[in-house]
Amino acid sequence: MKRAHRHGVYFILKSMEQGQTFRSTVPRFPTADPHYRILARQRSRFTHYYFYIEDEVLGSMAMRVASFFPFQTTYYLNGHNFIEQELNREKVGFRKNDNAFLAVSAPQALQAAADRFTAEVIRKRLDYWTLLLGPKFSKRERAQLNLRRFYAVNQAEYCRNFIFKRHFPIHKIFERSSEIGLWRMTASKISAVFGQRMTRKFKGKLNTTLEQIEHGHHIFRAYWKNAFVKQYEKFSTFLRNEVCSNNLNDFGLKKGLEHLAAVRQKFLAVTDRFAAFQAECLNVHADFPLLQRLALPIALGTTRYPGIKIHDTRMIRLMEVLLHGGTTVGGWRARAIHRAILTAFRIDEDRYGLNQLRYDLRKMKAHGLVERDGGRYAYRLSDKGTKVALLFVLFHKQLCGPLANSLFHHRPAPAPRPKSKLETAFHKADDSLANIIHLLAAA
């Protein structure tokens, strides 16, 4: 939702905090000037003022002003607020929550607004608020002290978002990414992500962690010196990769505000390498609860159909027949399917009647596994049904059945055995299962 245009200070807070200042002491030995004092840097507690500002260009921001010399002024800026102001001026529709853009009518305008967040724009607005709310000096004081303003970046954060239509893949990908990252993101990998080489002279942090905050919300972090890259879910809408640095010197960068563009390019490269590392690791088979979903009942209108369970023998027979012979263009009528099942599995009609078959077909149709040929009562497997039928039949006949037989009934001798890649794979699976059972018994 867009906010009404505002400009000015809407809150002021006073706080006692630690800060940099100077201590004035009288010299031990007398000097020609009786007013001569020695100034030394120190940290002490004194009053700081917080100004919460709504700026017409930068949007919402905070300003902290120290009440002691050198009157250090700190600004807390958020680039998302600047982008929001830019989109409002261009009358581009968007939906934003906190510091996240959930939707925008023109993605190109969003990127163009982000590119306009430059050091020149920031400096102009900071000079304005520093002059307005900061300490005031007379001409004589300015001439004696040679006062000037210098803006430096003490902490910088840069994020990249991967947007999904549904929450399910975000959560699964993040879980798998965290698991792989904790095991495979070694010291050399972390250094490569940050674009540096590992040497014996390295000093600082170099580790990965998985933190849990905010009622189970997890954050994966990879630390490198005074910086880290983190990943987390945001609003169940997108996956965010974010780089944060508290010392730009670690990257060989200068901290002056005029070097903000170089910081952005460096952090962009870090997020690129981190995303590339994850893409390589996540290019694997992931878990999908297909069997649990099919086992749940489904309601169509006022009719409720039960789920399809993988141990249902009737459904396995029906799927196998449809796979082998139900690929005709016009589909199969129920009587033809029924006749094929009775013949293929040598069962009597008393054990599996035509009405039972029609009930199974309606159940499969409710789950989207079979479809009718127009208005005719002729059935064929849908694209989804073909995949599910292959999975069910192969699981029983080519995977679960042979492995269960070797575990509980009879295990084939290791030699001699037929020269079959599939049989070799079964023997390897038998050995792996035996090893797992042995390890579990030892534990």
> Among 233, 240, 237, 229, which residue's Cα sits nearest to residue 273?
229
Instruction: Give me 87's structure tokens.
Output: 């989109």
Tokens read off for 305: 């159909």
The CA-based dihedral angle spanning residues 28, 30, 36, 41, taken in that order and rounded to the nearest 10 degrees? -10
Q: How many angstroms separate the CA atoms of 103 and 201, rounded?
A: 46
Report pTM: 0.67
Q: How do beta strands 298-300 and 303-305 pair?
A: antiparallel
Residue 31 half-sphere exposure toward CB, CA atoms < 13 A: 9
- With a CB cutoff of 8 Å and minimum separation 6, the contacts of 199 are none
Residue partners of 307: CB distance under 8 A and separation at least 6: 294, 295, 296, 297, 298, 367
What pLDDT is stored for residue 327 in this prediction? 54
Contact 286, 176 (CB under 8 A): yes
The pLDDT value recorded for residue 249 is 92
Residue 341 is which amino acid? I
Task: Enumerate residues 6+ apart whose C-beta is below 8 A from 324.
Answer: 344
The three-state secondary structure class of 264 is helix
CA-CA-CA-CA dihedral for 164, 168, 171, 175, to nearest 10: -120
From residue 89, how far is each of 82, 109, 117, 343 by CA, in Å? 11, 11, 15, 74
Q: What is the dihedral of CA 100, 105, 111, 114, to 10 degrees?
A: -50
- DSSP letter, residue 410: -
Question: Distance (Å, rounded) from C-alpha 385 to C-alpha 315?
Answer: 12
198 CB neighbour count, 10 Å cutoff: 14
Give the other-Cβ count within 10 Å of 362's Cβ.
13
Res 112: pLDDT: 94
Closest by CA position to 77, among listed 90, 65, 62 = 62
Q: Taking the mean position of all CA atoms in its chain, how far away is CA 422? A: 38
Give pLDDT, residue 1: 40
Instruction: From 317, 297, 318, select the one nearest 308 (Cα to Cα).
Output: 297
How far apart, in whole angstroms, are the C-alpha atoms of residue 114 and residue 294? 45
Q: What is the pLDDT of residue 97?
A: 83
- Cβ contacts of residue 24 below 8 Å, gap of 6+? 37, 38, 39
Please report, to the nearest 10 degrees, the dihedral formed by the alpha carbons of residues 266, 269, 271, 276 taken in order. Answer: -160
E-state strands within 27-139: 38-55, 59-66, 73-76, 94-97, 100-104
For residues 78 and 58, give the distance between their C-alpha atoms in angstroms, rounded to a whole number.
8
75: left (phi over 0), alpha (psi -120 to 50) or beta: beta
- 3-state DSSP helix/strand/coil % of the chain, to nearest 5: 45, 25, 30
Residue 147 φ then ψ, to 5°: -70, 145
pLDDT of residue 31: 87
The residue length of the chain stands at 443
Residue 418: both structure tokens together: 């037929």
Burial of 385 (0-12, 13-18, 19+ CB in 10 A): buried
pLDDT by position in tens, the chain (length 443):
444 456 788 889 999 999 888 888 888 888 888 888 888 888 999 999 999 999 999 999 999 999 988 888 999 999 999 999 999 999 999 988 888 888 899 989 999 999 999 999 999 999 999 999 988 888 888 777 777 788 999 999 999 888 877 777 788 788 888 888 888 888 889 999 998 888 888 888 899 999 887 666 789 999 999 999 999 988 777 889 999 999 999 999 999 999 999 999 999 999 999 999 888 887 766 677 888 989 999 998 888 999 999 889 999 999 999 888 655 567 888 999 999 999 989 999 999 999 999 999 999 999 999 998 877 888 889 889 999 998 898 888 878 878 888 878 888 887 777 778 878 888 888 888 888 888 877 75
Q: Tokens at residue 209, please?
A: 């962690």
What would the two tokens of residue 98 be? 């906190």
Question: Which residue's structure tokens are 């040679």?
Answer: 146
